[in-house]
Homo-oligomer: A and B are copies of this chain.
Amino acid sequence: MNIGIDVGGTNIKVGLVNDNGEIVLKHSVPTPKDTAENFKNALENAVEELLKKADFDVDVKAVGIGVPGIVDRENGVLVFSDKIPYGNLNARELFGKKYNAPVCVENDANCAAFGEFSVTEGQKDFVFVTLGTGVGGGIVIDGNLYTGLNGVAAEIGHITTHAGGRDCSCGRKGCLEAYASVTALIDFTKEISDQLNIDPSKITGKTAFEEAKKGNAAALKVRDRWIEEVGIGVASIVNVFQPDEVVIGGAISKEGSVLLDPIRKYVAENDYSAGDPSLPKTKINLSRIREDAGAIGAALLGKKYREQVIK
């Protein structure tokens, strides 16, 4: 059995994942954000409690950990996040000793991408786009996670889609993230708050979707404009990668076909390969395993790492 650990800004989710990528047991604890010691203890305890929960003997074959921020893959170290104090935790040492198993660390969006990829069938090339505070992503090429020369590839949110446009959290202007993140959606919704019967401070990513459903014309316009921004990003990805599939994740993916259908339509119209209808086309879908994607992907990357180090 493989252990997958998905460290988020709110919770640490841990799961027992078999070699088929099925999560058979899971557990979750809040993420301590005060000290590195508390974070380390919570990480250890979460796994211990998960193993206690199991009513069978668990043979830990591999451990995979996905975290936001910067990791040192080579040494299995959690290096830096602006939200969680890692204290340069050597996770390979910690869990490797404890469970006598290979341990790998990876960026959280990459883990989610690999998790989502694992539930597809017969695919080789795959792009995951996650819409949240920012716009993140992960790329799978020929069945392997693609991370570039320095491990930080797939910053899909930092394609320029509106040169010279809105300020982005990265300090640049006009990035996809400044238009297609849920943060941007909230900003756009706040701009029309006088046309909604809602305290602006209570506006969330759901507001425009909910108010549009109720028939508010301004909310409908904001929602549809934002969805088109997502479509612009996905179409650019399709024109560069022509992958087997693009999957869109993040809590907002729960909006379902209201979100998916117009993205599919936009991409169908803006896919460069549209000129030749005989060519196979990239499938566009919403996340299938949502909150489990990170832990499943981390566990399967752990399994992959095990296969590399133990031959």
A interface vs B, CB < 8 Å?
A: 70, 124-125, 139, 141-142, 144, 146-156, 158-163, 170, 172, 179, 229, 232, 235-237, 239-244, 270, 272-273, 275-276, 279-282
Contact = CB atoms under 8 A, between A and B. Distances in A.
Contacts of A232: 160, 163
A155 B239 contact: yes
Contacts of A281: 150
Contacts of A146: 125, 141, 241
Given A161-B160, A161-B161, A272-B158, A148 B241 contact: yes
A14 B229 CA distance: 45
A27 B297 CA distance: 52
A74 to B, nearest CB: 13
Contacts of A125: 146, 148-149
Nearest to A146: B141
Number of identical protomers? 2
Contact of A273 (B142, B150, B240): B150
Contacts of A276: 70, 152
Given A125-B148, A141-B146, A155 B244 contact: no
B160 A240 contact: no
Nearest to A127: B240
Contacts of A156: 239-240
A103 B40 CA distance: 58
A242 B279 contact: no
B236 A152 contact: no
7 contacts: A146-B241, A150-B280, A150-B281, A159-B159, A159-B239, A160-B161, A160-B232
Contacts of A160: 161, 232, 235-236, 270
Most interface-central of A142, A147, A158 (chain B CB within 10 A): A158
Given A161-B161, A272-B170, A242 B149 contact: yes
A241 B162 CA distance: 20
A243 B159 CA distance: 15
A149 B235 contact: no
Given A160-B236, A161-B163, A280 B242 contact: no
A231 to B, nearest CB: 10
A13 to B, nearest CB: 26
A177 to B, nearest CB: 10
B240 A152 contact: no
